[in-house]
Amino acid sequence: MSAYARLEQRFARIATLNEAAAMLGWDAAAMMPPGGAAARGEQLAVLAGLSHELLTSPAMADDLAGTTPPGDPWQDRNLELMREAHQRATALPGELVEATSRANSRCETLWRGARETADFPAVRDALTQVFALAREAAGILGEVLGLSPYDALMAQYQRGVGSADVTPIFERYESFLQVSLPQAEALRRRRAHEALPPGPYPEAIQEGLCQRLSAVAGLDYHHARLDRSAHPFCGGTPQDVRITTRYDEDDPLSAITGVLHETGHALYERGLPGGYARQPVGEAAGMAVHESQSLIIEMQALRTDAYLGYLAPLMHATFGKPVTQGQLAQRLRHVRRSCIRVEADEMTYPAHVILRFRLEQALLSGDLAVGDLPGAWNDGMRRLLGVTPRDDAQGCLQDIHWYDGAIGYFPSYTLGAMAAAQLMAAARRALPELDRTLAQGDFSPLNGWLGTQIHAQGARLGFNELLMAATGERLNPAAFEAHLTERYLKFDF
């Protein structure tokens, strides 16, 4: 067996361990009783340690050193990604990897209770430990990779994009928002209000409709599940995708949009190149790319007149309430300053990400103490959107990410939203029949185009390289701004 073939075997074993950890993580969020948290944290820590041992073993190092690029573009890229993963792993002591996993699991468990009671002090010390360990790892990785500590963490979620790339994009958007948001609000005030019929919209009926919509959108439930969790997410593996949502009997659109968002993630996972399953090149190209795939479904396609024309009569029949396309359009295409990121409209949503991007850099560097986070959060919300959270549950406790150790993730959301607008514009050029099919709830032409341009490419190309191949240019925020201008600043009265 060649050294490269042995590497493929070793990385397949590591990927299988990571798949097991992913399923345990899904179970912790969706099914596990509270009393299982401590044991689950230890299980995940041991799996993380085993993966780290395999990745940093002398045999792995020998095979990486003794392998030359095979000459096939996919295999050459796979070897490059193997070496990158080995470099990151060997930089970090195994003790630090396991300590981080334990700290993240403990902090996430405490966060769940703290969020319910808006009690930030209950999780403050645990979050301080999470950031201390992240700071230690980021410093080590940054030195090895030649990156700043924060960029070294960002690279875990989207390689090839750093804070120097993101900062001017976010500054440009903040300027766009200062002008466009008041204009969009003024236009909204001039339009007659059409509210959805009042609830209740029973949870069980919502769940059935959500599963139907995601199936029609292309999700194969022979390889997928829909469950409930405190924070909607997509997990599992490409062959066993797990999506979750939460339900509000007064607002069915919260679950519908959440499920279709996670369906976009799931379709990406299901469409990854099966010939490179459990290999680095067969994985997703990064979380900004992943977010582009969820947001092109939820924000770009779902909110079109065509799809809402399909959804309204279906909701009418499902709930027995006179839901109209106009009501859905007003509810889903609105602008409203809000404290909650996951409830924000697509114009104000980037402001929530900008706040988190700035705060997590300050927390990681030590310029902001964890104990001062609630006040800094509230100040930032006032500056960016002119709103103040009523308590920490609406403020710095609302997201799971930092409490689970996902530092450097947040920029991917807005980079993904911008990429989704750019991809949708290209898809419309390639698919002139797109609105006709969306009017039937049919995503198959869009899925087919995305499958070829994005899903089947795996990690062969980077974020900007994928956009260049699919749209003809690297990330260009102008496409997102043009989309928002068309949707929110050009109403017919």
Structure tokens at 183: 């204009």
Task: Output the CA–CA distances (angstroms, integers) from residue 180 to 127, 255, 477, in the order listed.
Answer: 36, 28, 15
194 part of the active site: no
Those residues with Cβ within 8 angstroms of residue 476's Cβ, 6 or more apart along the chain or in another chain? 418, 422
SS3 274: helix
Alpha-helical segments (H) within 217-286: 252-271
- 195 backbone dihedrals φ, ψ, rounded to 5°: -95, 150
Q: CB neighbours (10 Å) of residue 366? A: 11
- The DSSP bridge partners found for residue 227 are 244
Q: Is the separation of the CB atoms in 96 and 137 below 8 Å?
A: yes
Q: Name the residue among 118, 150, 155, 175 with its Cα closest to residue 351.
A: 175
CA gap 426, 447 in Å, rounded? 13
CA gap 161, 289 in Å, rounded? 11
Q: Name the residue among 135, 133, 141, 139 with its Cα closest to residue 159.
A: 141
**CA 466 to chain CA mean position, Å:** 18
Q: Going edge to edge, which strands form the sheet with 224-228?
A: 224-228, 240-245, 234-237
Per DSSP bridges, beta strands 240-245 and 234-237 are antiparallel
CA gap 271, 217 in Å, rounded? 14
CA gap 144, 151 in Å, rounded? 12
- The structure tokens 């300053």 sit at 337
Catalytic residue among 8, 98, 108, 262: 262
Q: Name the residue among 325, 328, 306 with its Cα closest to residue 436.
A: 306
Alpha-helical segments (H) within 248-333: 252-271, 287-295, 305-319, 325-332
Q: Name the residue among 265, 263, 261, 255 with its Cα closest to residue 286.
A: 265
Structure tokens at 270: 């299901």
Structure tokens at 354: 């900008």
Per DSSP bridges, beta strands 240-245 and 224-228 are parallel
Which residues does the annotation mark as catalytic? Answer: 262
